[in-house]
Amino acid sequence: MSSVVGGRISRVVLSCCGVLSCCVVLSACGSQVLPDAPEASAPVVASAVEVQLPVPEPSGVQSATASVPSATSAASATTSTSAAPTAERLVMLSSVDSYVGNAAPGKVAEDLSDLEGIDACVTKLQSGSAKPGELAFSVKIGADGKITSVRLDQDTAGDPAFTACLEAALKQGMLPATDRGTAVFTVNVVSERILRQSILGVVGK
């Protein structure tokens, strides 16, 4: 910055007076005056220029807006937390929709539902992302009772981990030889609350 002193141009180096302000006055706050430059050959017209330096915010002081939430935002946060919906408990109902073979369809449905590993899938149902829906598997049971093929025909529950668990349990299953044939094994995923209401409604009639 340059200023006019007694018809001569002097260069002024600004130095800070403290943390929050800087000095602009020539003789204050330890300003340093460098040696005078040679006289100007032509008259110099001085113009006043106002210099405003940004005042940095101390790093140790946090903004009140950032550290103290407003009453409105605090209230809305409390409301949103209390209004969070509680996940509904889901249950699994299984049945055989169609069966071609010599055994009673009810027996085949019971045997498929009792396969080792099917119960473990309920744990995945509760901890996963399934929603109420239906899964249908076409199952072929060999002459020795071993399940030879499993095909997923329908899945509206939408939880891959739960579906994969059921499919693996069926593929590894062994049934009585009398169950040989083909069956459509259906698993319904329903809300426990709705199921209870349905049962109470039937019993109340």
In a domain, 68, yes or no: no
Do residues 115 and 16 both lie within one domain? no
Q: Amino acid letter at 48?
A: A
Do residues 197 and 130 both lie within one domain? yes
Q: If you average pLDDT over residues 119-137, what whole number do you get?
A: 92
Among 82-96, 105-119, 138-152, 175-189, the range scoring the smallest mean pLDDT is: 82-96
Q: If you average pLDDT over residues 76-103, what whole number do you get?
A: 74
Q: What is the structure's pLDDT at 58?
A: 53
Do residues 38 and 121 both lie within one domain? no
Q: If you average pLDDT over residues 75-86, what whole number do you get?
A: 46
In a domain, 72, yes or no: no
Q: What is the structure's pLDDT at 51?
A: 43
Q: If you average pLDDT over residues 122-139, what whole number do you get?
A: 93
Q: What is the structure's pLDDT at 195?
A: 87
In a domain, 149, yes or no: yes
What's the number of domains the chain is made of?
2
Do residues 99 and 148 both lie within one domain? yes
Do residues 134 and 47 both lie within one domain? no
| Structural domain for 162, as ranges | 90-204
Q: If you average pLDDT over residues 34-48, what whole number do you get?
A: 44
In a domain, 186, yes or no: yes
Average pLDDT of the chain? 72
The runs of H, that is alpha helices, within the chain are: 64-67, 71-82, 105-113, 118-127, 160-171, 192-204
Quickly state the pLDDT bin for 11 (edges 50, 70, 90).
very low
Nearest CA to 196 out of 85, 69, 93 is that of 93
Q: What is the structure's pLDDT at 33?
A: 43
pLDDT of residue 188 exceeding 70, the answer is yes
Do residues 42 and 113 both lie within one domain? no
Q: What is the structure's pLDDT at 197?
A: 86
Do residues 40 and 125 both lie within one domain? no
Do residues 125 and 30 both lie within one domain? no
Most confident of 36-40, 60-64, 182-186: 182-186
